[in-house]
Each structure stands twice: as C-alpha cells, then as structure tokens.
Structure 1
Amino acid sequence: MLKELITSKDITIGLRSADWEDAIRKSSKRLLEKGAIEPRYVDSMIDVLKENGPYIVLGNHIALAHTRPESGANELGLSFTTLNPPIAFGSQNFDPIKLIITFSATDSESHLSMISELALILSDEDIMEELFTATTPEEFYETLTESVE
C-alpha cells in the first residue's frame, strides 16, 4: 500500500524548523498541495498536541502526525519529513524527533493496512537508521519501498 500512496515527491529531507509546531506545519505542506488535507487539518493536529501532549511520538525519534478525519481529511494521504536538526516534541523518552510521518485518513479503517506496513518498517532499527540518514528523497523512497516488498 505504501508504494501506491507515495512517490519521492512526498518526501522532504533535512527540514529546518524553529519548533515542533513549525515542523508540523511544514511537514504538512505536501498533503495540502495534493489536496489530501485542508488547512484546518493542520491546525487541528497542532491544537490536539497542545491539549494532549506528544501522543504522536511513537518512539525511536519518530512522530506520526495526524488528527481526526472530520478535521479536514479529504483522502488517504502520507508524507515523510526528516528534520535537521532534530526537534523536541516534549517526549521524555523519544526526543528529539528525526522523522515526521504525516498522514490523513477519511475514516477509521482505510489506513489500517498502511499503518501495518509502517509498523514493520518502524520496528526495524537498521531500516530506520537508513531512513534517518538518507540524503535525497529518492534514497529515502528506495529504502522505504524496498523494505515492504
């Protein structure tokens, strides 16, 4: 499913951000451009993080940025953004964040197979190290898609 959802254009390498809020806004740019989300979706992601803390931080320096479908998700969307330098999101155990995976889903089920594929990748430390250190979107894409074959 990942191969059907993304291209190298959905990957940003070495994004510079002032803080976690700026990182979320910038990492959402591709999904906004594609029309997968509306601007209010980005605002909702930030508001929910402010209210609930860094629940999107999954571990291993990874954040899975998302919010409720009714907050402006138009279609299933996915983008990847590496941060340079890494950014603190307020997670004691897993800061700083090196990778933001931004996704949108229009319901509670359409994204489950995508999340399953991501879980396999995210649990492999060798693959994650390659993703963290990728220097081009094409290199990141190749590592990501080869790992789900």
Structure 2
Amino acid sequence: MDEGILEKRAIRLDERAASRDDAIRRCGGVLVEIGAVDPAYVGTMLAREQSISTYVGEGVAIPHGTLEGKSAVRRDALAVVRFPETVDWDGNPVTVCVAIAAQGDGHVDILAELAEILMDEDRAEALRGATDPDEVLQILKGT
C-alpha cells in the first residue's frame, strides 16, 4: 500500500461510536483533521452509506464518499479507525473502519489491497486487534 496515503496520525485505535453514522462521522472527522478533505466530504460519506453499505466483512467497513464528494477531497488519504467495543453496522459488528478519500480512481487499488488483507484470516484478525499505529502500518504494508 502506498506509504503516503496512510499517515500515522490518521490511525486511531481506541475510538467509541454509538451508531454506524456516528462511526462514519468519526472517520470523516479524522480525514478532515489531517487536511485530506473538506468538512462537506463527511456528509457525502453518510449519503453513500444510505445508498449502499460499506461493510465488507470480517468486522471491517470502508466508509467513503459519493462521486459528488470527490470535489471535497484535497488529496488521496486513508484513515484507520478502530472501535474495540464494535459498532452495529446494519446488524454486523464492525471493529475497524478504513475510511477512504480519493480524487480519482486510486481507491480501486486500495479496495483491492484491503480485500487481500481481509481474505487472509490472520491479517484480518491482526488488523481488528491492533493497538499500535506502527502495527497497523505493518499489516497494511504486508510486512
């Protein structure tokens, strides 16, 4: 995974969320905090979730904005947000959200890499249980 797309400061491993939408707002907030997106992007992340679930299995969701939201993206970035107490995502327990901000089609490659990680039970479990940002970076880089 491209090292520049996930900064250590965009990894939050001990968050709490009362609901799916609260979790999405928290993820979007991290993207705003690191300067990757304008605040308007968070609304498009919520709109995307209304049209199609971003839950991908193995306790992981990948919230991202709609096509219209691309104009609010300043630069491609990821945020990894872990909810140790899980969040109910339309009946599925989610522990990790990988929020995506992409101006072009860069997110397609990111999704493919995430799919590989999730298909590897050990890496998926390690991601759900990670408590250190460096650990997350290692898992996502496949080292």
TM-score (norm 2): 0.87
Q: Does 1:70 align with 2:45?
A: no
Shift of 1:81: 0.8
1:132 to 124, 128, 131: 128
- Equivalences for residues 19-58 of structure 1 within 5 A: 19-49=19-49, 51-52=50-51, 55-58=53-56
Q: 1:8 is matched with which residue?
A: 8
Shift of 1:84: 2.0
Specify whether residues 25 and 40 from structure 1 end up closer, same or farther in structure 2 by C-alpha distance, changes over 3 A only: same
Q: Does 1:105 align with 2:102?
A: yes
Where structure 1 has 5 or more consecutive residues not aligned to the other structure, the ranges are none
Matched residue SS, 1:70: helix
Shift of 1:7: 2.8
User: Is 1:69–1:105's contact at 8 Å kept on the other side of the alignment?
Assistant: no
Q: 2:84 is matched with which residue?
A: 84
Between the aligned partners of 1:69 and 1:37, the Cα distance in structure 2 is 14
Shift of 1:32: 0.5
TM-score (norm 1): 0.84
Q: 1:143 is matched with which residue?
A: 139
User: Is 2:10–2:34's contact at 8 Å kept on the other side of the alignment?
Assistant: no
- CA deviations on 1:25-51 (whole Å, 9 max, x unpaired) are 1122221122211111111211332x3
Between the aligned partners of 2:65 and 2:114, the Cα distance in structure 1 is 17
Greater mean deviation of Cα atoms: 37-46 or 134-143:
134-143
Between the aligned partners of 1:129 and 1:123, the Cα distance in structure 2 is 10
Between the aligned partners of 2:2 and 2:83, the Cα distance in structure 1 is 21
Between the aligned partners of 2:129 and 2:120, the Cα distance in structure 1 is 14
Matched residue SS, 1:65: coil
User: Is 1:69–1:106's contact at 8 Å kept on the other side of the alignment?
Assistant: no
Greater mean deviation of Cα atoms: 56-65 or 22-31:
22-31
RMSD, matched Cα? 1.7
- CA deviations on 1:113-144 (whole Å, 9 max, x unpaired) are 22222221121110011111111212222222
Where structure 2 has 5 or more consecutive residues not aligned to the other structure, the ranges are none
Between the aligned partners of 1:139 and 1:115, the Cα distance in structure 2 is 20
Matched residue SS, 2:25: helix
